[in-house]
Copies of this chain bind each other. A is one copy, B any other.
Amino acid sequence: MASASLQEAVSVLKSTNVRMTPQRHAILEFLHSSMSHPTADDIYKSLEERFPNMSVATVYNNLRVFKDAGIVKELTYGDSSSRFDCVTSDHYHVICNDCGKIVDFHYPGLDEVETLAEHVTGFDIEDHRMEIYGTCPECTKMSKQ
């Protein structure tokens, strides 16, 4: 459940000297309740009713704190703003070219790719990233109408 891993995230933070504030907890909560890999601005907007005075800097600050603590991953896609994922176990993402939707995709790691890259380039390979792009079922349905 999301609430279980939220509790885990809170205790990870408490184990370092990170204080628990209402804003911080709300950001964590939103991340764990959302499956949509939100942007900093998504988070900011979703909390502006509960925290009318919250600064967008607070969102960014906390996302960095979470990243440093290893409880959140940042997904960077270049052209637009970063997205944040509270699922830190290894997985890939399938992204819709039309609406931008991001869906988790589990696949065994591409070890042989890393091994070959190491042999061919002489690099000491540490990891890789992969995203798969296409059109989601909803957008396909739309375009057929």
Contact = CB atoms under 8 A, between A and B. Distances in A.
Interface residues of A, number: 38
A118 B92 CA distance: 13
Interface in A108-145: 110, 113-114, 116-118, 120-137, 140
Contact of A96 (B79, B123, B132): B123
Contact of A128 (B79, B114, B118, B133): B133
A117 B105 contact: yes
Nearest to A125: B134
A94 B115 CA distance: 12
A135 to B, nearest CB: 4
A88 interface: no
B123 A136 contact: yes
